[in-house]
DNA sequence: CCGTCTTAGGTAAACGTTTACCTAAATGCA
DNA sequence: TGCATTTAGGTAAACGTTTACCTAAGACGG
């Protein structure tokens, strides 16, 4: 019975298709080709129609599951794909396959050159394997991080890289999301979706930093690091202390300043330290901190390294380029970014919105290189 | 006739629903609640079923198109949404609404701190308006740029920001994609999807840079910039020359070096210039170039600014922090990124893949601060 | 000549939303 | 009481793919 019906339907379809193809050959096909070439998202159905097959067949060819598709049909489909610049709609594809080939990367501060490099490396690595990345900046704010996590989940990312941060991630949320996760230099709960942890031996790093300074003869070394409550910092402090212990030196609590890893904190912490006590070297737990520290030292007329040595941590690509505060032409980079996005969204909201043509005026900033 | 049938269907449905609700109240509902609370992407249908309404109703409530939904129903739905941590599937939503509230940002080199700042600003601005961004790095490679454009289109971004680059974008592709576009400091064809252009007055910037140096008494000033063929560079050169003209100074072609905007080229160009001719100042068309230049000058034992003054361009946030090459602890940032992504994708490919726990070993790099 | 493979491709459901349109019941008003 | 309006929510199609399963026709062996 079912066979009978299906057979009839099959025949009917054949008749319909035959007449449709004939119709297209009679001119309509040309019209469609022209229209599609013009633009406007071509779909798999358009290709199918023009090739005289069904969408399923096109899909199979596109996905190379085409053992059962004849050579001529394949060729016809690929030719149309090329001609019409067909690009599959990743959204539809993701919806059904439940995979987007996108990876989310969450960092606490993209302005820290360390994360810039990290993000770039992740992105490159991902692309080499056919994935793309979405970057999220959490500003070390748990709320923002949770929002990003939810965002990434709702956009169906296949995995998430959670990079170093003072934050302890929301374990419940992570557990609920069930998205494969890689943590980098970060304390995370042991979820079953944790694909890997990539950590740096912070204890050893801090130890090396301090020993390097101790070997150079320093006995009073300041220690500047991030959030004092994060394991991130506690571990480094342990390494710092071990170096002292091994050298038979005491650790003076007055020499410790912990807060954040950015250059602003480096500047502030160093000022505080200079006001409070004396030292001949600094062991900074990020290069950004070290950059801030050198600025503070110079402010007070202290020469680096003669009056005070400074060690950083990370070896960001900028480290070897630090030579002198640069005189330059100022551009309002952030303002430009805001303008761009504002203009774009205004346009999205209302396509007739007047176009903006902004010409930003640069100004001179004089520092020490001129 | 239709009414009659529809009416019957409606009644039937009511009966079915009534019995279903009763069934749930009898225990099954609890089971479902527990199961969903457990996790696993809750859908609008789950909420609907538990609330005893249809998906359409839930959708209306969620999208605040709920003038016609009663208060109790609304409350019931919101309560379930909270309880089950329901998050809408953006993919399904994008598919039907043809809008993703995502903006693509394409930059030539994220490692250039200028673009880091720009990208961050774009992202922040976008988030403030309920959009997210996807970052793409083109490496100033037209092929990569085209690939990114296609990628962004296929992922249904609502708009694209195309930031400064030496490249002339693929007009045909852009035209075909029909995605609203903002160009920043970039030559683009006048497409009808061009929402805005944000440009910097490069001519004036370069003019100011040169005049600043001329006023300081310099007469032989080197000019270092990006791709010599890009309008980007031609325009700046015009400003540089105008400053000379106005001061009655000649421009020596030997003092010009154009190639790229990164610090590597700054280093190379400066070496070349030093080998070829003499000058007492440099007008660099990006801060990254200037950073490379100062490194090259120092290499040759030239003091900045006494032996040679250096002007940058952009005022990246790092400019004021440049004090001395930093001794530091080296970490293989890129390697770490690669490891992370590799591990993640291996896991995606095969969930039973052995987990990796990597401990990266830091090393000392000594420069001038210690 | 019949049954079985193989080849080439078709069918239809599914993914999770949104939305235009429909309807049943209740209410209001004359 | 009868009709129109409002209220509250339902129906079903649509978005562009993918994929498990089905089928028709021809080839082939016995």
Closest B-chain CA to A293: B321
Least confident interval from A39-43, B66-70, B166-170, B337-341: B337-341
Q: pLDDT over 90 for what percent of chain B?
A: 35
Residue A85: pLDDT above 80?
yes
pLDDT band at A8 (very low <50, low <70, confident <90, very high): very low
Q: CA B34, B39, B41, B42 torsion: positive or negative? A: positive
| Contact of A270 with A282, CB cutoff 8 Å | yes
pLDDT tens-digit series, residues A221-278: 999 999 998 888 999 999 999 999 999 999 999 999 999 999 999 999 999 999 999 9
Residue where the block lists tokens 């839930």: B58
pLDDT tens-digit series, residues B267-300: 999 999 999 999 999 999 988 998 999 999 988 9
Protein-strand D interface by C-beta, 7 A: A 2-3, 6-7, 10-11, 41, 43-45, 55-56, 59-60, 62-63, 65, 86, 88-89, 92-93, 95-97; B 9-10, 13, 17, 52-57, 68-70, 72-73, 92, 95-96
Buried b (16+ CB within 10 A) or exposed e, B208-229: bbbbbbbebebeebbbbbbbee
Pair of tokens at residue B230: 């890009």
Question: Which pLDDT score, from 0 to 100, does residue A3 have?
Answer: 30
Please provide the average confidence, as pLDDT, over all residues in chain A. Answer: 81
Mean pLDDT computed over B305-324: 84
Question: Which pLDDT score, from 0 to 100, does residue A147 have?
Answer: 92
* More confident of the two residues A366 and A219: A219
Q: Which residues contact A71 (CB under 8 A, 6 or more apart)?
A: none
Nucleotide nearest A97 (Cα, C1'): D18
Residue where the block lists tokens 């980007």: B232
Mean pLDDT computed over A288-306: 90
Pair of tokens at residue A106: 């969450």
Q: Which residues contact A113 (CB under 8 A, 6 or more apart)?
A: A287, A288, A314, A316, A317, A318, B113, B116, B318
Interatomic CA–C1' length for residue B74 and nucleotide D7, angstroms: 14
Q: Distance between CA B45 and CA B91 in Å, rounded? A: 16
Would you give the DSSP letter of residue A134? E
Buried b (16+ CB within 10 A) or exposed e, A252-274: eeebbbbbbbbbebbbbbbbebb
* More confident of the two residues B12 and B203: B203
pLDDT tens-digit series, residues B195-236: 878 888 888 889 988 998 999 999 999 999 999 988 889 999
Mean pLDDT computed over A289-316: 89
Mean pLDDT computed over A140-145: 91
pLDDT tens-digit series, residues B137-175: 998 899 999 999 999 999 998 888 888 788 888 888 988
Q: Distance between CA B269 and CA B296 in Å, rounded? A: 9
pLDDT band at A368 (very low <50, low <70, confident <90, very high): low
Q: Do the Cβ atoms of B329 and A125 come within 8 Å?
A: no
Nearest to B209 among A120, A329, A336 (CB): A329
Interatomic CA–C1' length for residue B95 and nucleotide D14, angstroms: 10
- Nearest CA to CA, how far is B164 from chain A (Å)? 12
Question: Which pLDDT score, from 0 to 100, does residue B365 have?
Answer: 63
Question: Which pLDDT score, from 0 to 100, does residue A267 have?
Answer: 96
Measured in whole angstroms, the distance separating CA B187 from the mean position of its chain's CA atoms is 19
Least confident interval from A34-38, A253-257, A296-300, B337-341: A34-38
Q: Distance between CA A47 and CA A36 in Å, rounded? A: 10
Mean pLDDT computed over A357-364: 65
Residue A163: pLDDT above 80?
yes
Residue B303: pLDDT above 80?
yes
- Nearest CA to CA, how far is B312 from chain A (Å)? 4
Q: Kindly give the interhelix angle for A44-51 and A71-83, rounded to the nearest 10 degrees.
A: 130
Mean pLDDT computed over B55-77: 88
Chain B residues within an 8 Å CB radius of A134:
132, 134-135
Question: Which pLDDT score, from 0 to 100, does residue B97 have?
Answer: 92
Interatomic CA–C1' length for residue B10 and nucleotide C25, angstroms: 12
Reported as half-sphere exposure (CB side, CA atoms, 13 A), residue A292 has a value of 24
From residue A239, give the alpha-carbon distance in Å to each of A218, A225, A251.
16, 12, 12
With vertex at residue A98, the alpha carbon angle to CA A96 and CA A103, rounded to the nearest 5 degrees, is 140
Residue B19: pLDDT above 50?
no
Question: Which pLDDT score, from 0 to 100, does residue B16 have?
Answer: 33
Nearest to A325 among B120, B319, B364 (CB): B319
Question: Which pLDDT score, from 0 to 100, does residue A65 have?
Answer: 85
Question: Which pLDDT score, from 0 to 100, does residue A14 have?
Answer: 34
> Which bases of chain D come closer than 7 Å to a protein CB?
7-12, 14-20, 22-25
Q: Do the Cβ atoms of B330 and A315 come within 8 Å?
A: yes
Least confident interval from A26-40, A214-228, A265-279, A343-357: A26-40
- The kind and range of the H/E element at B160 are strand B159-162
> Which bases of chain C come closer than 7 Å to a protein CB?
7-12, 14-20, 22-25
Question: Which pLDDT score, from 0 to 100, does residue A29 have?
Answer: 60
Interatomic CA–C1' length for residue A48 and nucleotide C17, angstroms: 26
| Contact of A185 with A232, CB cutoff 8 Å | yes
Q: Do the Cβ atoms of B317 and A216 come within 8 Å?
A: no
């Amino acid at each position: 019975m079912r066979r009978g019906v299906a057979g009839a339907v099959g025949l009917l379809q054949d008749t319909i298709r035959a007449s449709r193809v004939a119709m297209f050959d009679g001119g309509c096909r040309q019209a469609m080709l022209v229209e599609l070439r013009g633009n406007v998202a071509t779909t798999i159905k358009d290709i199918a129609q023009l090739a005289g097959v069904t969408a399923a067949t096109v899909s199979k060819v596109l996905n190379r599951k085409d053992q059962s598709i004849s050579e001529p049909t394949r060729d016809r489909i690929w030719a149309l794909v090329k001609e019409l610049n067909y690009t599959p709609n990743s959204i539809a594809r993701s919806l059904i396959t439940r995979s987007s080939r996108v990876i989310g990367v969450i960092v606490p501060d993209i302005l820290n050159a360390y994360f810039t490099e990290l993000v770039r490396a992740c992105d490159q690595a991902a692309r080499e394997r056919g994935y793309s990345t979405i970057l999220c900046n959490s500003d070390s704010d748990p709320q923002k991080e949770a929002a990003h996590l939810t965002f990434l989940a709702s956009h169906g990312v296949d995995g998430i890289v959670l990079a170093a941060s003072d934050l302890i991630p929301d374990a419940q949320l992570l557990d609920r999301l069930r998205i494969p996760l890689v943590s980098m230099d970060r304390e995370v709960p042991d979820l079953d979706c944790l694909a890997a942890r990539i950590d740096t031996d912070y204890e050893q790093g801090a130890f090396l930093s301090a020993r390097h300074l101790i070997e150079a003869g320093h006995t009073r070394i300041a220690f500047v690091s991030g959030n004092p409550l994060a394991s991130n910092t506690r571990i480094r402090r342990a390494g710092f202390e071990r170096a002292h212990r091994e050298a038979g030196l005491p650790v003076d609590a007055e020499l410790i300043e912990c807060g954040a890893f950015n250059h602003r904190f480096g500047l502030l912490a160093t000022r505080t330290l200079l006001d409070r006590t004396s030292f001949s070297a600094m062991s900074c737990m990020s290069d950004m901190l070290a950059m801030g520290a050198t600025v503070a030292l110079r402010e007070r007329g202290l020469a680096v390294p003669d009056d005070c040595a400074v060690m950083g941590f990370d070896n960001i690509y900028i480290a070897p380029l630090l030579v002198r505060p640069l005189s330059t032409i100022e551009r309002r980079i952030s303002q430009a970014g805001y303008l761009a996005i504002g203009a774009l969204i205004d346009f999205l909201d209302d396509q007739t919105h007047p176009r903006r043509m902004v010409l930003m005026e640069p100004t001179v900033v004089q520092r020490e290189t001129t």
